[in-house]
Amino acid sequence: MRRFWWVILSMALSLPAQVRFTEQPGKIAVEIDGKPFTEFFLQDPAAPKPYLHPLRAASGTIVTRRFPMEKVPGEVYDHPHHRGLWFTHGNVNGIDFWMNEATYKGKTPKGRITLNKVALVKGGPKSGTISGSWTWEDESGGKLLTEERTMVFHAHPTLRIIDLDLKLTAISEVKFGDTKEGTFAIRMATPLDEKHGGKMVSADGATGEKAIWGKRFPWVDYWGKIDGETLGVAIFDHPANPGHPTHWHARAYGLFAANIFGLRDFYNDKTKDGSVTLKPGESLRFRYRVIIHPGDTNAAGIGKLYQEWAK
């Protein structure tokens, strides 16, 4: 009998990590190898946009800031529109989808991204997929864009990997304005940000906000120590993306964003224009990979992982 149970245990330990989803009101919980990884918020009245929160390393440690969804001692309580991992932009036909919190009192009209449908929620032994569609709307409900999103969550013993594929299609003529406030973004946990000892590293070895903010790189990795554990988060920009290699709106306080539009801010040059206009039916497609890893940039082999993915 002891031999039987040992065989069963050995088989269980040798199984690959599983990706499982649990649908809940307004969100989908993601588990990898039986452990919580993240939750995908489909539509949040407090912040009308889809976002992932929190993001965890394979060890279970949370690597994204928990505010404003939670208040944790020691965290920095700024920029309440920074929620986990999200994709928005600060100027779409003059409408702000970046700072679109319900509590935001700015003069710029706020946009909202509303759920149309969840098309697929499918787990599996090697990966799991969530796909759906959303509409970008102005304050009166006028429809600007359709967003089709597919996210693939990969099972891995030491890494957490998300592939995102986003297609934005204009319903009416749409202009993505030139602003640094965007676009594909993560807010790092406070202990991991540069101000608290963390480190940003680019694909060509540049380090720190001064060397990375506003510059163009195919990938950037942001790593540091949290509770004695060295962890990092890398964002990969796909070679087929518009504006590749992307510019980076990456800050020492923990904002970590890929943004192809904000050239005037990035170059401090009013003659630059990074805006993009879509006629009705035209689309922009963006693909990114996010890797949450143990160790620093070199130990995790981020450069090699990017080359393998970008082939």
User: Is the Cβ–Cβ distance between 237 and 244 less than 8 Å?
Assistant: yes
Per-residue 3-state assignment (H helix, E strand, C coil) for 15-69? CCCCEEEEEECCEEEEEECCEEEEEEECCECCECCCEEECCECCCCCECECCCCC
List the domain boundaries for the chain.
Answer: 15-310
State pLDDT tens for residues 135-166: 999 999 999 999 999 999 999 999 999 999 99
State pLDDT tens for residues 169-220: 999 999 999 999 999 999 999 999 999 999 999 999 999 999 999 999 999 9
Would you place residue 75 in the very low, low, confident or very high pLDDT band (cuts 50, 70, 90)? confident
Q: Which of 237, 174, 243 is nearest to 203 (CA)?
A: 237
Would strands 229-237 and 219-226 be described as parallel, antiparallel, or unpaired?
Answer: antiparallel
pLDDT score recorded for residue 17: 66
CA distance 105 to 83: 18
Residue 50 has pLDDT above 50, yes or no: yes
State pLDDT tens for residues 255-303: 999 999 999 999 999 999 999 999 999 999 999 999 999 999 999 999 9
CA distances from 118 to 53, 148, 154, 191, 204 (A): 18, 10, 19, 35, 39
Question: Residue 233 CA to chain centroid, in angstroms?
Answer: 10
State pLDDT tens for residues 78-115: 888 889 999 999 999 999 999 988 777 777 899 999 99
User: Is the Cβ–Cβ distance between 29 and 20 less than 8 Å?
Assistant: no
pTM value is 0.93
pLDDT score recorded for residue 1: 44
CA distance 95 to 144: 10
Q: Give domain 15-310's CATH number out of 2.70.98, 2.60.40, 2.40.160, 3.40.50.
A: 2.70.98
Which residues share a beta bridge with 166? 149, 286
